[in-house]
Amino acid sequence: MDLQPVSPMITVETALEALRAHSDPERAAGSAAYHKAKRDYLGTPNPVINDLTRDWRKDLDLDQRIALCVQLWDTDIHEARVAAAKLLTQARIRPDDQVWALIASWVPGFDAWAIADHVCSAGSKRLVADPSRLDEVEAWTVSEHMWTRRAALVITLPWTKQNFPTEADLATRDRVLGWAADYVSDRDWFIQKAVAWWVRDLSKHDAARSIAFLEEHGSKMKGFAVKEAGKYLK
């Protein structure tokens, strides 16, 4: 990827300095113990990262933003990776091919849920912008890497939320539920949780599909996942 230099106003060094200015050693230790991924943690709260990245977006053009995201990600600092994802979490980005390619390139490196979920939040907006990318996401469902398989469900969550889905949206719901059906025999907690999350959120807007899924596949799911998936179903 041919990257432009980051703006002189915001370099990776100044970005890290800003993140460290709000660090909390006690929070950092708790995050390290909770996420169990071996990397540095600053303990910078998410609301602070939200504010920082919002301000950085105002001062950077897209090429500069992508360059900063690459450099923040490569630090392998938890909060820097979260910031990289937040810098790309935006509904309208045109053109967005480089952004999607960067997000997809990060997926094989997922090793903890928080970073994965922030990246998937950014990626989901690129999927909604161009649903043809679902073909690429479908390939993730057969990955040997658990976090990649999980990402296929988390990144498609917007299709659980439409109140007035089109025929194409309904077809995507059925497509992703098919992926989820293939996951139910996977006993990994995070996979079971992701299936439950997708079916639970869908039940708020399309109870019939969620009920049908649980009737067909609930017996193969772990008990906690069935309970979570049916949380909003009467």
Number of structural domains in the chain:
2
* Together in a domain, 223 and 130: no
CATH number at residue 24: 1.25.10.90
* Together in a domain, 120 and 18: yes
64-93 pLDDT, tens digit per residue, is 999 999 999 999 999 999 999 999 999 999
* Together in a domain, 150 and 161: no
All residues at 6 or more sequence positions from 52 whose CB lies less than 8 Å from its CB, including other chains: 15, 18, 19, 83
* Together in a domain, 120 and 46: yes
Residue ending a domain, choose from 128, 155, 182? 155
* Together in a domain, 14 and 92: yes
182-214 pLDDT, tens digit per residue, is 999 999 999 999 999 999 999 999 999 999 999
* Together in a domain, 40 and 132: yes
Q: Which residue has the tokens 């897209």?
A: 62
CATH number at residue 195: 1.25.40
d(CA 73, CA 65): 12
Residue ending a domain, choose from 112, 130, 155? 155
Range of the domain at 229: 156-234
- Predicted pLDDT at 7: 52
- CB atoms near residue 18 (< 10 Å): 19
Q: Cα Rg for the chain, rounded, in angstroms? A: 19
* Together in a domain, 105 and 221: no
* Together in a domain, 126 and 207: no
142-181 pLDDT, tens digit per residue, is 999 999 999 999 999 999 999 999 999 999 999 999 999 9
* Together in a domain, 123 and 15: yes
87-122 pLDDT, tens digit per residue, is 999 999 999 999 999 999 999 999 999 999 999 999
- Predicted pLDDT at 8: 58
Cis peptide leading into residue 95 (ω within 30°):
yes
* Together in a domain, 62 and 130: yes
Confidence of residue 234 (pLDDT cuts 50, 70, 90): confident
Could you tell me if 3 and 70 are in contact, meaning their C-beta atoms sit under 8 angstroms apart? yes
Residue ending a domain, choose from 115, 136, 155? 155
* Together in a domain, 105 and 69: yes
Closest listed residue to residue 220, CA positions, set 190, 168, 183? 183
- Predicted pLDDT at 57: 94
